[in-house]
Amino acid sequence: MSRHTQQTTTTQQKISNFLLPEGTTPAIPQGFVEFCRDSMRGLQGSQLFVLPTFDPDFETTQFDGADGPILNIDGPNDDHVVMLEAVATERPVVAIDTSTVKLGELDDGILCALRGAVVTLAFKNYRYLRYGPFVFSLGYNAPIASKCLANLGFPPFSGEPNIDSLLKRVRNVLERWLQFSVSSLLTDAFVLIDGSLTAGTPDNPSRELEQILEVARRSGSVMIAISKKTKLRIRNKALTNLLENEPNPCLIDVDTEITEQFPPYPVRFLGRVFVAKLAKAGFPFRIDIDRHIPNTTAVNEFAQLAGTDIVDQGYPETLRMAHILSTFTATDVLAMQAFAEAQFGLEMAPKLSLRHSLFGPFGSRWEAFH
């Protein structure tokens, strides 16, 4: 975590502005900006094969533990359901979300963009801080990719880089940096993130998350991860279906049932896993809360979150806004392609559609019409 340690001073300064009056312009760590710039150097005159459709990555970088085959685990009994009664507080709520998009293919890699958003609710006001877009390239050339990623604190690597995996790592870096910054600066806050508190894969190492949780704990804050989608299933039904017959706010602790199914290494459940419905007639979500928080306190934290933030449809408003603000639209993609062309001398070219070339009008889906 030397990367985070080095950044802490400047980061704290920048994020401390976050809750201060408008007009402040906090900066992103220079290393991240350098990473973007380095990755774009040498692309002058390269062709950028733009994709016929844009495909933003809304998925979370967090691993929910159920990669691979769907788990069917025995579920707890219905009598374990705990009813939630919302408790209003003045505690700040902060939500963090990021998203990535591929802008096109290069001869030896891809051009991508990343954006992060932090939304805070404090003193009954919502404010946001949006980072990016950061445009960068990820290449198949291992030495160059390795050199670029060194700016982000990644150790050198050799062999064929997996572009998708690298993209997840870069996104994870920004996400963790934002989470760390927020956790270290705010006290007694709810820190909401998209996904889960499960870590332990190369793209999502557990060490950083552990440290973030530790920092949050020390500040009296609580980190909660809310997952819109989970592959975990119980009795051949989606995990969230456990509360399908419960109209009122409630939760159920499924932690033991889930964690018992996994070996202790490498995947680590750093959060206690619940299925919770935070609002009446809302949707149930998988919600993870810092494992170090005792079960009864956790229930109380959920009740306070439900009473502090707007939880329309059972989903916290801060997190909803963070998601909306971080996502990319087709306009953003066009603009970033134009930016890459103007700033880095890329030449745009349409991507050859093999399907169209081979099958002409008998191709399928979108490509058949373009």
Partner 1 sequence: MKILKKEADDLQLLCFPEEEAEKGDYLLVTDRVKARSLIVQIIDIQYANIPGMLEDLLRDGISEASLSGDEVDPLNVSSQIRILKDTRLLVGKIRGAIENGRVSKDVAWLPSRNTSTVEPMPPRLFFETFSSRHSFEIGSTNRFPHVTPDLAALDGRLNIVTGRKGTGKSHLTKLLVSSLVREGAPVVVFDVNGEYVNLGRSIDGRELHHSPRIISLIPGLNLRFSLAEVGLGTLLGTLTYALQLPENSARVFSRIWRELEEQNQLNMSALAAAIVNADCHESIKDALHARFNTLEDSGIFTDDSHTALSLEDLLRNHSNGCALIVNMKNQHAAMRRIVVELLISKLTDLLATQKLRALFLFAEEAHLYLRETYWDDVVTRMRHLGLFTTFVTNQPDTIQASIYRQADNVFLFNFSNEHDLEVVSKVAKVDADTIRMVVRDLPPRRCLVIGDIVANFPLVVNVRSLEIQTLGATRYFFKDQLAVA
Q: Which is nearer to partner 1, 133 or 282 (CB)?
A: 133
Decide whether 63 or 177 has the Cβ nearer to partner 1: 177
Shortest separation between residue 367's beta carbon and partner 1, angstroms: 16
Closer residue to partner 1, CB minimum distance, 63 or 136: 136
* 39 versus 211: smaller Cβ distance to partner 1: 39
User: By C-beta, is 26 or 363 nearer to partner 1?
Assistant: 26
Peptide bond into 294 cis (omega under 30): no
| Least distance CB 143 / partner 1 (angstroms) | 24
Omega of the bond leading into 266 within 30 degrees of 0 (cis): yes
CB nearer to partner 1: pick between 115 and 272: 115
Structure token digits, residue 122: 């404090």
Least distance (Å) between residue 57 CB and partner 1: 16
Say which amino acid occupies 186: L
Q: How far is the CB of 331 from partner 1 (least distance, A)?
A: 4
Shortest Å, Cβ 138 to partner 1? 16
CB of 65 to partner 1, least distance (A): 32
Q: What is the CA radius of gyration of the chain?
A: 22
Positions that interact with partner 1 (CB under 8 A)? 22-28, 33, 36, 54, 113, 119, 125-135, 321, 324-325, 327, 329-336, 338-339, 342-343
Instruction: Kindly list the distances between the CA atom of residue 343 and the CA atoms of 42, 257, 354, in Å, as whole numbers in the listed order.
Output: 12, 53, 30
Q: Give least dist CB 43 to partner 1, A.
A: 14
Q: Which is nearer to partner 1, 277 or 320 (CB)?
A: 320
